[in-house]
Structure 1
Amino acid sequence: MKLTADQIAQLEEETVLFCQEMIQIPSVNYGEGKGDERLIAEYVAGKLSEVGIVAELIESAPNRVNVVAKIAGSDITRPGLVLHGHLDVVPADASDWSLDPFSGEIKDGFIWGRGAVDMKDMDAMLLASVRMWQRVGYKPPRNILLIFFADEEASGTYGSRWLVKNRPELFKGFTEAISEVGGFSVTITGDHRLYLIESAQKGIQWLKLSAKGTAGHGSFINTDNAVTKISNAVSRIGSYEWPQVPTKTNKLLFKKIADLTGDTFDPANFKNLLKHLGSAAKMIGATLTNTANPTMLEAGYKANVIPQSASAVVDGRFLPGHESELVETITKLAG
């Protein structure tokens, strides 16, 4: 599909505008079934309708709304492609931000707000792109199933999982899917440009730790303090240095990085090559090991009262095939 300069400019302008407007619709997913994508789902369906794309709003639970649309391809004998995004975002504490997290404000050449990266930016790109297809009469070479899911940030219970279980007919004839992060490019040392392709994802294991102790007044000596117990467990887990797990994918990737940069390839230690990846080092580095980060703490109700219980939540991520290792290690560290 070839576009004129004016059409390219319109595509870019719409993408920016849509991203800003979607950020301004707080579609916060608080987890445990608490979320609301209705308004943003209606916004997306409305933008599709403006150019003649019929969208179905599918409510899997009160206000948990998914948007689904089909776009016919030029060759219906080819397997179909799913293009999908998600409409929900994680919570944002405005006091932690220098700008309103739901403003979508442009500053220093960037759009700021919750969802600007994950993933209302790509939602806007998808939306603007298919609208341009309609305007210029472009037909993709295969059928397209366009989906904007609810509930991605928690468990997918009211989004992708629900649709696959309750509306399997939607996916008939569609064999591949593209969404966020599946591939991107990065320039490494020596000005070599690599095009990275995601081969798998880490699994999620969210764990809640609970400690019991003896309640009492804060002025007394207490050697059975639940807060102390949970704090020590959280400290051990958060400070633990997970060993490298050399997956087949990462062996190939880091061998190539070593070859291109002239650096030493050590199959027992890929971390020394991360320096060549620039801003992508943080993300790629997380693919070398299991990870476990304490994210939530809860205890007590008054400053001078030692509580009887305390709890913490740990966000565990495991490499494919290494879930048992993650759980066993966290269990041991928790004590």
Structure 2
Amino acid sequence: MLKRVLAAVLAMGLAGSSAGSAAAQDLRPDQVKFREIYKELVETNTSLSAGSCTVAAAKMGARLKAAGYTDAQLTYFSVPSHPKEGGLVAIYPGTSKTARPMLLLGHLDVVEAKRADWTRDPFQFIEEGGVYYGRGTSDMKVIDATWVDMLIRFKGEHYQPKRTIKLALTCGEETLEAFNGADYLAKNKRDLIDAAFALNEGGGGRADKDGKVQSQGVQVGEKVVQQFRMETTNPGGHSSVPIRDNAIYQLAQGLLKVRDYDFPLQLNDTTRAFFAKAGAGRADETGRAMVAISKDPNDHAAEAVLNRDRGFHSMLRTTCVATLLDGGHAENALPQRAGANINCRMFPGSTMEDTKAKLEAAIGDPGVKLIPLQPIRAKPTPPPLDPKVIGPMEKVAAKYFPGVPLVPTMSTGASDAIYLSPVGIPTYGVPGFYSTPEGSGAHGLNEHMSVKSAMLGRDYLTELVRTYADEE
């Protein structure tokens, strides 16, 4: 399947590539070429329902092949059961025999997007008022395009890095039901992607309403998702003779206990550094509480202040929340079964068993069953705050974002880093791109990225990768 798709793309001769907009004429020539790649990726539908990551991977492979990469440097992969969810690994060889490679990671798949819900066609790359619109413009085709553009430029410049640079474009990050390319590579092609560290999505910056960048973050670790099925059962009976012993009522009581339960506060090196550094830049009560909690996790007054912010509350602990609900079998019968999905985001270092035990203790009813659902993740281990990785990020950020702090962050969501860290490839979410206070629309309607952010972030990451690649 991959070979047929690649052949079709090569036959097109990349004829469909063009700047495509008068606004692109205001860009530097190298930025115009980057924009072409970005546009092609956004306009290649890679949603699970109607798109194909395999086609997107083939298009990017065709570009790399046209730039001079050999067949031996391009590896396409997929599995027969998921032919549209394939990916690509590209290798740019370094000169050093001792420096371990670095890995650039990017997922090609995007969240579903319905044209009827959007102001613009989600699978058209549209530029309006200095903003790019389209599904994937933020999450994460701007980074995918940056990685591909970078490798093409390096080849054209005959750049000779000391450290080998690897690129893995995968599928399946956005949907549990999909074939996950990062997981597949970690389990089946570990040598192909071997690296000292990986750069991934998850970091980034925030700007004010006027577009002035206020902060940049590097993601150093993330929570891990664990799902549970909460279930109650009952003999049931006729609804004309109701009793208090009801599966739905019992489930509801259990759900309220989950709602009201706060897991114990936890800190690790990343979150301690985040609260200390980000808090020091604020002169309000929240800033003081951030600094205080970084020094003393038992400061309950500081915790109470931080818990008012839902993001900080989540960063400080494991969280679990009900997300799906079902129950009963007939409108005129007492329910024999009721159930809910409990979505947990486990703090690094926590396990499924420990999380389950704490929930069961909080519910306090042996009749409410908690059933762990697959996949059951390995105990998450965050990457270290390695100065060899963080230092270059800070140095290059000082050039592109002078006076803006670079803050380590822990994601309360999840990315493909969960597959690489367990096999010994510490993975970091890169700074560079940024959004304004209203957000980027990622996973939602009218997803977008400002032109300035796209171009500045791309330049930042290109210099950052060069910095790593030039080091032994």
Which of 185, 188, 191 aligns to 1:166? It is 188
Which of 27, 47, 56 is residue 40 of structure 1 equivalent to? 56
Paired residue for 1:175? 196
Contact between 2:246 and 2:334, CA under 8 Å: does it hold in 1? yes
Which of 136, 139, 144 is equivalent to 1:123? 144
Match of 1:210 in 2: 231
Aligned to 1:228: 249
Report the CA distance shift for 1:221/1:17 in structure 2 as closer, same or farther (over 3 A).
Answer: same
Alpha-carbon offset, residue 325 of structure 1: 4.4
Q: 2:292 aligns with which of 266, 275, 284?
A: 266
Matches of residues 68-217 of structure 1 in structure 2 within 5 Å? 68-75=89-96, 77-91=98-112, 97-99=117-119, 102-104=122-124, 106=126, 109-113=131-135, 115-153=136-174, 154=176, 158-172=180-194, 174-181=195-202, 183-186=203-206, 193-216=214-237
- Aligned match of 1:247: 268
Identity %: 21
Structure 1 distance, partners of 2:332, 2:161, is 66
For residue 122 of structure 1, report the CA deviation from its aligned partner: 2.1
CA shift for structure 1 position 295: 1.9
Report the alpha carbon displacement of residue 116 of structure 1 after superposing the two structures with TM: 4.1
> Cα–Cα, structure 1 residues 130 and 250, in superposed 2: closer, same or farther, change >3 Å?
same
Partner of 2:357: 328
Per the TM alignment, residue 286 of structure 1 is displaced from its structure 2 partner at its CA by: 2.7
Asked whether the equivalents of residues 47 and 112 of structure 2 are also in contact (C-alpha less than 8 Å), the reply is no
Q: What's the CA shift string for 1:32-59, capped at 9, x where partnerless?
A: xxx9743333333334334333422212
1:220–1:15 distance in 2 versus 1, CA, 3 Å: farther
TM-score by length of 2: 0.56
TM-score by length of 1: 0.76
Paired with 1:313 and 1:148, the residues of 2 have a C-alpha distance of 31
Q: 1:11·1:132 contact (CA, 8 Å) conserved in 2?
A: no
CA distance in 2, matches of 1:12, 1:284: 36
Code of the aligned partner of 2:61 = A
CA contact (8 A) 1:28 1:88 kept: no
Contact kept? 2:38, 2:145, Cα under 8 Å: yes
Match runs of 1:297-316 below 5 Å: 297-300=325-328, 303-316=331-344
| 2:379 alignment partner in structure 1 | none
Residue type of the partner of 1:313? N
Alpha-carbon offset, residue 127 of structure 1: 2.5
Per the alignment, residue 278 of structure 1 pairs with none
Partner of 2:423: none
Deviation, structure 1 residue 16: 3.7
Structure 1 stretches of 5 or more lacking a match? 30-34, 276-280
User: Does the 8 Å contact 1:208/1:312 carry over to 2?
Assistant: yes
SS at match of 1:200: strand
C-alpha displacement of 1:178: 0.7
Greater RCO (Cα-Cα under 8 Å, separation 6 or more): 2
* Unmatched runs of 5 consecutive residues or more in structure 2: 1-25, 294-298, 366-472
Q: 1:26 to 1:186 in 2, by over 3 A?
A: closer
User: Following the alignment from structure 1 to structure 2, what is the Cα–Cα distance between the partners of residues 300 and 117?
Assistant: 41
Tell which deviates more after alignment, 201-210 or 266-275: 266-275
Cα deviation per residue 1:163-207 (whole Å; 9 max; x = unaligned)? 2232233134x21111111x334469xx99544333322222221
1:253-290 deviation digits (Å, cap 9, x = unpaired)? 32233433345332223574699xxxxx7655532121
Structure 1 counterpart of 2:76: 57
Q: Residue type of the partner of 2:317?
A: T
Measured at CA, do residues 163 and 246 of structure 1 come closer, stay the same or move farther in structure 2, by a change above 3 Å? closer
- Which shows bigger deviation, 128-137 or 207-216? 128-137
Q: Is the 8 A contact 2:185 2:193 kept in 1?
A: no
Q: Contact 2:41 / 2:141 at 8 angstroms: preserved in 1? A: yes
Contact 1:150 1:158 in 2 (8 A): yes
What is the number of equivalent residue pairs in this alignment?
Answer: 315
User: Is 1:292 paired with 2:292?
Assistant: no
Divergent runs of 4+, >6 A: none
2:278 match: 257
SS at match of 1:168: coil
Residue 17 of structure 1 and its aligned partner are, at CA, apart by 0.4
1:18 matches 2:37? no
Q: Give the match's secondary structure for 1:169.
A: coil
Does the C-alpha gap of structure 1 residues 239 and 67 become closer, same or farther in structure 2, counting only changes over 3 Å?
farther
Tell me how large the CA RMSD over aligned residues is.
3.7
Report the secondary structure of 2:163's partner residue: coil
On the 8 A contact 1:11/1:129 being kept in 2, the answer is no
